Each structure stands twice: as structure tokens, then as C-alpha cells.
Structure 1
Amino acid sequence: MHQTTRDFWNDRYRQKTGETSGKPGLVLSQFAGPLAPGRALEMGCGRGDDALWLARQGWQVTAVDVSAVALAYAADSASRAGLAGTVQFEEHDLAETFPEGMYDLVVVSFLQSPRDWPRARVLARAAGAVSTGGHLLITEHASHPPGSKATEGTIFPTAEETLASLALDPRQWRRLCVCAIARMGTRDEVQGETVEDNVIFMERLG
């Protein structure tokens, strides 16, 4: 029987608990921290740490994921933190449905799947949801993360390749950071080992 994307990720999250570090991703806190809060969209919110951090900074957050299991964990964390009113959780397979509206910040962190999935098309749609003067922040694996279930032969894009796949009009976007950075692995990877990520941080001009 064919397993849907939704079933695949629900199964993955059922193997986890709702317990998380409670900390935002380092790229998110570094690049979004200085921004004035407004409306934010997080695509692939998982168990909700980044969405809750944004809410604490004053953002009105729409957080989406394909997994109802992950969203239940995230909503429970938001409720316990007293942030339920500032985060709206929505279930979407982003290849099929997409949240409505325009946003001052669109965050896409590690939206990479071992399944066949139209990632470039989804990222381009994410860029289309950024309002004038807003920002797009994409973080992605640039190398095989320690502990990852991705096959060893997986080829990861460069930051420039990912940016090119979006086909953004350079007259309408300002490049703020398109680069690779190194960090230490998390407990979901292998703690203590170096991980390389790509960052694509763009400002929409018009």
C-alpha cells in the first residue's frame, strides 16, 4: 500500500515525544532576531520551538506542518507557554495546499524530505507569500547530517543552487545572506559533530 507524505511524517513523529529543547534554531534567532515583528509564516514547524520563539518576540505566527502528530505536540507546547493566542497551527501538505495571506517573514527550516516531493515549487511559493519589505529565511542541510535517515548518496544543494531554483526577479529582491555556515549537531543529529547548513536570507523590495 502506498504511504502518503502525511502518513510518512506522522509515523516519524510518533517515534518522538512532545519534549523539545525549547530553543529556536540558531539561524532563526540570528537573522530574525533584529527584525521588527509582524506576521510570520513558518513552513514545516515540527514540534514548534521556532514558532513559539517568534511568538515570544512579538510575531503573529502561522505555523504549518504536514503531520497532525507534530502539530498536536506544538499546540500543546504553545498552550503550556501561554502563547496559544499568538500562534495559529495549520495542517498542510504544502505540495497540495498552502496557507492564505502575505507575511512579513516566511521561515523555511530544513524542509527537505527523503520522499519524492516538489521542494523547489514549494519554496518558490513561499517566496511569493513574502510581502513588500518582508523577508524570506531558508535554512537547509548542506551536507549529510550525522544521524540522518537520508541515504549516504544524497546530494545536497548549495545555497546558490537553491536560490536559483526559486527564479526570483533580482529587481525585486535584495540578497542579505546566501552562504553556508557550520554548527554543532543537535540531539536529533549527533551532538558534538559539525554540521554544515545553507542560509538563504532575502528581502523583498517590491
Structure 2
Amino acid sequence: MSEEFGQEYWDTRYGSRDGVWSGLANPVLMTETLALPAGRALDIGCGEGADAIWLASRGWQVTGVDFSGVALARAAERARQAGDDPVSAHDPATGGTIAGRLTWEQHDLTEWAPPAASFDLVTAQFMHLPSSARTGLFARLADAVAPGGTLLIVGHDVSDVHTTVHRMPDPDLFFTARELAAALDTRRWQIEIAETRPRVAQDPVGTAVTVADAVLKATRR
């Protein structure tokens, strides 16, 4: 597992091309955080930084964390281009000031624990690991949410394995929102959303396919 999903794997993947992802923030992240008051955010598996940069443009103080030093260097450069420097202080896409609001950290996410009760928003977008590693990671992310803060986890629903879109063939890498919600103690958490959310994607031959995202949004009491 460490070889396939650790730093070497992700450094190789990110180093194989100039951009692995679209460069745009994830739509569910934007939709579900738009009304939240800005505070301290932790973006887990931040990759090339699109989500963290968007959050910073909305006033959040963001820590982006990833396995890959290659991805983090690219994220820092994209943030600089978007305005994270003293000279150019605005994201041209949103007009929001991001200078000084972004911190990038490299950690082994299968072992690292963020500081407890420290973030007003903890987000993990499409962080797929084997269940043996994922369960512990998501528990540590929940512990990092401050009272009154939000936990937002979005991933490919396990049902996607049976579509024609490109997904890893191992169902153990995927999850459902119901599974995530069941792991939270309802005495400590208010479950706001735990749903399978459909959307349209294209498979490798260009056919439109309905896929599903597992979306969990919860507020720490």
C-alpha cells in the first residue's frame, strides 16, 4: 500500500505532466462552503492547490497538505501566479485577496495527525486510500475540526466501479457517504449531508456517463 499510494507514487504521477487536474476548485467544495464564515481551513490531499487557492480567495487561512513534494511545489507556484505574493495580491479569477493566506505542508497522510480541534473547516476531496488506511485518516481529520467547525469529505462513490469511467478496479478504495456518517459519534456531530450525489462525466471514449459522488458534510457540536 505504501508503495502504490505514498510519496514516490504521487511524485511520479505529478511529475509525468504539467498538470494532472483541471486547475479548478471542486464544485462540491464551492457549493458546500460558500455560506460558511471564513476561518482556518485544512485541505487534505491538496494536490496542485486549486481548492486551497479558491478558499484563500474567499478569506480562509488555508493549510494545504499532500504526500507529494512535486504537487506542493506546483501548488505554491500556482498560488504565486494567482496573487500569493506582496506585489500581486488578488486572484484574477475571483478578485479575492490571497496573499499570506496559504501554507503548504508535506506529510505522509497514512500516519500524520493534524493538530486536534484546530480548524474551522477540514476538507478532503477525492482522497482514496485502502480502507485500512482511510479509516484512521478520516478519524484524525474529524478530530482536527474545532467545535462549531465543518468536516467535508467528498469522494467517488463505490458504485462508480461498475460504470465505464476510469476508476481503480478495487472497491476497497471507495466508500459511501452513509459509511462515513456511521463513523461519526452523533453526540459530537450534526450530520448536515450524507448522500450519493449524481453528476455527468465522460468515460475514456467520450460517452456521457452518470457517476456519483459520496458527500459528507458534518458540523462538530
TM-score (structure 2 length as normaliser): 0.81
Secondary structure of 1:3 counterpart:
helix
**2:215 aligns with one of 196, 199, 206:** 199
Matches within 5 A, 1:178-189: 178-185=194-201
* Aligned amino acid, residue 108 of structure 2: D
Q: Hey, what's the Cα distance between the residues in 1 that align with 2:191 and 2:101?
A: 29
Greater gyration radius: 2
| Cα pair 2:60 2:101 within 8 Å, conserved | yes
| Cα pair 1:141 1:198 within 8 Å, conserved | yes
Secondary structure of 1:185 counterpart:
strand
Query: Which stretch shows the higher mean deviation, 121-130 or 4-13?
Result: 4-13
- Find the counterpart in structure 1 of residue 171 from structure 2: 154
Q: Does 1:99 align with 2:114?
A: yes
Secondary structure of 2:141 counterpart:
helix
RMSD: 2.4
Pairwise CA distance, 1:11: 1.1
1:151-183, Cα deviation, whole Å (9 max, x unpaired): 2x525322111222x3x2211111110001012
TM-score (structure 1 length as normaliser): 0.87
- Find the counterpart in structure 1 of residue 103 from structure 2: 88
> What percent of counterpart residues are identical?
39
* Aligned amino acid, residue 147 of structure 1: H
Q: Does 1:109 align with 2:128?
A: no
- Structure 1 pair 190/178, CA: closer, same or farther in 2 (3 Å)? farther
- Structure 1 pair 46/173, CA: closer, same or farther in 2 (3 Å)? same
- Structure 1 pair 78/191, CA: closer, same or farther in 2 (3 Å)? farther
* Aligned amino acid, residue 24 of structure 2: K
| Cα pair 2:114 2:140 within 8 Å, conserved | no
- Find the counterpart in structure 1 of residue 67 from structure 2: 66
Pairwise CA distance, 1:97: 1.9
| Cα pair 1:184 1:191 within 8 Å, conserved | no
- Structure 1 pair 58/91, CA: closer, same or farther in 2 (3 Å)? same
Q: How many residue pairs align between the two structures? A: 199
Q: Does 1:133 align with 2:148?
A: yes
1:87-114, Cα deviation, whole Å (9 max, x unpaired): 100001112223335100000111103x
Q: Unpaired runs of 5+ in structure 1? A: none
Q: Hey, what's the Cα distance between the residues in 2 that align with 1:6 and 1:63?
A: 15
Secondary structure of 1:94 counterpart:
coil
- Structure 1 pair 100/81, CA: closer, same or farther in 2 (3 Å)? same
